[in-house]
Structure 1
Amino acid sequence: MSPRLYCLPIAVLLLAAIPTDATAEDLARPNVLWIVAEDLCPDLGCYGNADVTTPHLDRFAREGCLYRNAFATSPVCSPSRSALITGMYQTSIGAHHHRSHRTDGYRLPEGVKILPELLRPAGYYCVQLRQFPADVDLHSGGKEDWNFTHPELVWDSHAWSDLKSHQPFYAQVNFGEAHRPYRSSGPAIDPEKVTTLPPYIADHPIARRDWADYLETLQTIDEKFGRVIDLLRADGLLDNTVVIFLGDNGREDFRGKSTAFLAGSHVPLLVRWPGKIAPGSENDGLVSLLDVHASTCAIAGVELPAGCAGLPLLVDSKQRREYLFTARDRIENAVDRVRTVQDGRYRYLRNFLPDRPHLMDRRYYDRTNPVRNLMRQMHADGKLTPGQAKVFAPQRPPEELYDLSTDPFELKNLAGSPDPAHQAALKNLREQLDAWLVETQDQGAQPEPPEAVNATVGRGRRRRGTGDGDGRGRGGNGGGQRRRSDQGGGRRPSPDR
């Protein structure tokens, strides 16, 4: 549990992952490309979802490794991305409240650096991709969304055309189609034929339509992903580039994004590294997105600074994460504090504000997610199952425990179960969380400074430091209507993003 275990010399761990007969060419540092998709769970075809068609990502999974249990550190973008780019829990660096510190000049603690600051001295050219060849139908507005004031120099370029002549490079591309309001351009999915609607959502035509809309965005993401891979291949970059596809947080499906439940932080993670990762491999161990940061440093031969919480699991498959932690704090107007820990079977939630309901009023989600209003009405009409209705209770238990092996949708709280196995799991995870709160210096118990709150609640929606074209429409296309578009940028930012 000690954070010192997370900070072993990365160069040593990287050498353990390289064959002893490696040539000088084998040891050449590869390029690294993160393809980050917003707001999705592992709902792709390669994860067994027959309702959706994702041939490019399915093929990519066959050529690399598919991770089944990867999780963001937060169920919403800005805390998750703040952790991902620094390699530290957002709760350790004061970046845990959504869209905080946008205008108050808040800086990261001394010694904490973002990933480009670590990679650039090692010779890596750092690119946030927004500009693609004119003859390729590919758009990305770029997205940072960090809850701190970043250094003046973050990216060396935004242009794809600079990659080939600036190797090794570290690059990011962002796909926002699965962020509400949904945007899709691929084949339509018949709502009546979907079979994967989660059981915590009522089986209703509105819910089916909304679920089909979400799945259609995954098909559009797949098309765009394929175009990126084609560009890498055409430029001769594919075989010397470690490509990592990941989500920034889980899907927004009424009990996913913005909640502490599993679907809020469960994300897809696919990695292709020719010659180093066996094609068609799978990993069912616990992986945090912090481990993507640590693995990227390992690939580049960069040692992690003290305090970083990731493990280079993508380059050293022998390592395993015993416990995985997530945190949920204020999101827009909904003030909250929840911490979770899981061990692969049991998942424990601690609600520090149990006097509040699971489902708090959220202006943005109430406007863009038709399922929220549908479920409210069905709850008022007494038409929900107990598992579906529990989020509407005016209060929630201080502790929750779920056996994911028998209850993957977290419908039955076992915290009060007399079963000795359940009580043993509860005791263990409770103790693990207590220790983690201390070891990571969790700042969630401290009141949020008014200047940090005022920087996001009720402010103008100007996006500082997140890139032009980073936003999405402000409504009008919510209520379950999907926007038929492949465009990834050029719209005004939404309050949630």
Structure 2
Amino acid sequence: MMTSMRLRTAFLLSLFVLCFSFNHSVSAAARKPNVLFIAVDDLRPELGCYGASHIKSPHIDQLAASGLLFNHAYCQQAVCSPSRTSLMTGLRPDSTKVYDLDTHFRKTVPDVVTLTQQFMQHGYRAVGMGKIYHGSLNDKASWNAYPTVKGRGYQLPETLTAIRERTKGLDVKKMGWRQRSKLTRGPATEMADVPDQQYRDGAIAERAIKSLQELKQSQQPFFLAVGFLKPHLPFVAPKKYWDLYDRKEIKLADNRFQPKNAPSYANTNWGELRNYSDMPAKEDLTDEQQLQLRHGYYACVSFTDANIGKVLDELKRLELDENTIVILWGDHGWKLGEHNGWCKHTNFENDTRVPLIIRAPGMQAQGKTSEALVEFVDIYPTLCDLAGLPLPAHLEGTSFKPLLTNPQRPWKPAAFSQYPRGRVMGYSMKTDRYRYTEWQDRKSGKVMARELYDHQQDGAENENIAGKPDQKPVVKQLSAQLKKNWKGAVVPD
């Protein structure tokens, strides 16, 4: 009798364990993946994982080693708000009509469902912090929560005193962002021996860690967007990140001159750089000033890398990493003296090419690099595809989920960017070999100027060859391709 009861108990226990294991595995399989969405301001693809051995970026490099790195990813317009708007809406600038830092997309496409809204509508909790949309143009409808973050920019007392004197008696909070930012800018660089969290990006990392801990307690899948500000100007970072680099070993750009035969539309001024208190109003920078800026940019890249590492470490510590899609992107490229330019605001490769790394549960292409041409408008459909969400009809990009299985499979023949110059719009197309740009009158569509750069012969884009007689067939073919595929090139089966 006792033996029979023991056998029955053992059988029931085994059956319970089997049922629990089965239900647990079914639950795990049905569980939606989380998303950790890391945005970095003004980050160009000059990182260790992109072959830049002089840059200290161990945490981003580690992410690339466990994910898929895109070597030819491009933004839709090389300036903050249009770029971020295109990524978050899945629409190109011509569709959002957002070409500047003042226009909010809710005024032009008021009913568009943003990336995070799509996730929210399918059971996700969307939390954002730092800079996801541009500055004052955040979108409340895109978030369940957007916690404020402490920390500030400048730390040195002499800088803060000078800014206080400049703004004394003024109600800075009521000013437009352009006027406010100009009055509150100090030098273009700062090195302060302070803890990471005193600077804003360090505080953002701390808040992201806290948010992960809070989200861990919920059974609801999450979309956590973390937007780091550096290496955007001013280049301010704790001293220990400056100390990672020896100024004597930093090199200036090789091509500190305008591209030969480039139309005036192609080039730009220095953007916001001249507004900083230690930058010249008109004349060129000295070599020492250029080295200072490069040193500051590199220090900020390493500072952001460290903050990203802290967030990724916490994701792993909380055992969330195996069921979380991690995507890291920089909103556009940046010039560090190339073409005698600084900042962004052009259609050149330096400005439009961006870092993009993704890691997804169960992906096969871990530690691989893809040479496929991908665009920011592709990110929205890709994340939906990976999470098993339906794709809204308005999307103008293509999911690159297939590349996570086969990174070298045939893909889109071109990627597209654009930039306005008053009455003309520059439409730019990157193929596997060329960058071709047409500057078109925005009313008539008439082509006012053309650019053609052969990346097999001139990867730095130092000579525009569009006007050369022997390039006429190439220009004709690329012009037709630009017109045909502007809304998005077709992916081959």
Q: What is the TM-score when the length of structure 1 is the normalising length?
A: 0.66
Is 1:337 aligned to residue 425 of structure 2? yes
Whether 1:227 and 2:310 are equivalent positions in the alignment is yes
Q: Structure 1 residues 278, 153: closer, same or farther in 2, change over 3 A?
A: closer
Task: Kindly provide the CA deviation profile for residues 127-147 of structure 1, in whole angstroms up to 9, marking residues without a partner as x.
Answer: 103xxxxxxxxxxx3332289
Aligned residue number for residue 175 of structure 2? none
Question: Aligned equivalents of 2:300 and 2:137: distance in 1?
Answer: 30
Instruction: Find the partner of 1:182 among 235, 259, 271.
Output: 235
SS of the aligned residue for 1:106 comes to helix
* Pairing partner for 1:250 from 333, 344, 365: 333
Shift of 1:161: 3.5
What amino acid is the match of 1:401? Answer: L
Give the whole-Å Cα distance in 1 for the aligned partners of 2:141 and 2:467.
51
Q: Does 1:106 align with 2:155?
A: no
8 Å CA contact retained: 2:86, 2:377 = yes
Cα offset, 1:400, TM superposition: 0.3
Letter matched to residue 341 of structure 1:
M
Larger gyration radius, structure 1 or structure 2: 2
Indicate the residue corresponding to 1:11 in structure 2: none
The structural deviation recorded for 1:255 is 5.2
Q: Partners in 2 of 1:65 and 1:40 — Cα distance?
A: 18
Report the equivalent of 2:143. 154
Q: 1:349 to 1:206 in 2, by over 3 A?
A: same
SS at match of 1:163: helix
Q: 1:97 aligns to what?
A: 100
Of 268, 291, 299, 2:355 maps to: 268
CA contact (8 A) 1:36 1:173 kept: yes
Corresponding residue of 2:255? 199
Secondary structure of 2:52's partner?
Answer: coil
2:224 maps to what in 1?
Answer: 171
What aligned pairs does 1:304-315 form with structure 2 within 5 A after superposition?
A: 304-315=391-402
Of residues 238, 250, 253, the one that matches 2:321 is 238
Could you tell me how far 1:84 is from its partner in structure 2?
Answer: 0.5
Distance change in 2, residues 1:353/1:47 (3 Å): same
Taking the aligned partners of 2:322 and 2:213, their CA distance within structure 1 comes to 18
2:385 is the alignment partner of 1:294: no
SS in 2 for 1:287: strand
Give, in angstroms, the shift of residue 226 of structure 1: 0.5
Q: Give the aligned partner of residue 467 of structure 2.
A: 416
CA distance in 1, matches of 2:317, 2:323: 13
The structure whose residues are more often helix, as a share, is 2
One-letter amino acid of the structure 2 residue matched with residue 124 of structure 1: Y
Which SS does the other structure have where 1:350 is aligned?
strand
2:369 matches 1:282 = yes
Aligned residues: 358
Q: Report how far residue 73 of structure 1 moved.
A: 0.7
Matches within 5 A, 1:22-61: 25-26=28-29, 28-61=31-64
Listed one character per residue, the Cα deviations across residues 39-62 of structure 1 (whole Å, up to 9, x for unaligned) are 021100111112211111111111
Q: Quick check: 1:54–1:218 contact (8 Å CA) kept in 2?
A: yes
Q: Deviations over 1:88-141 (max 9, x none)?
A: 112112222332249xx715155x211122111211111103xxxxxxxxxxx3
Cα distance change of structure 1 residues 68 and 196 upon mapping to structure 2, 3 Å threshold:
farther
CA distance in 1, matches of 2:482, 2:402: 27
- Deviation for aligned residue 1:24: 6.9
Percent identity between the two aligned chains: 29
Alignment of 1:406 with 2:457, yes or no, is yes
CA RMSD of aligned residues (A): 2.8
Query: CA 1:164 to 1:34, structure 2 compared with 1: closer, same or farther past 3 Å?
Result: same
Over 3 Å counting, the alpha-carbon distance change for 1:113 and 1:146 in structure 2 is farther
Q: Which amino acid aligns with 2:479?
A: R
Cα offset for 1:26?
4.5
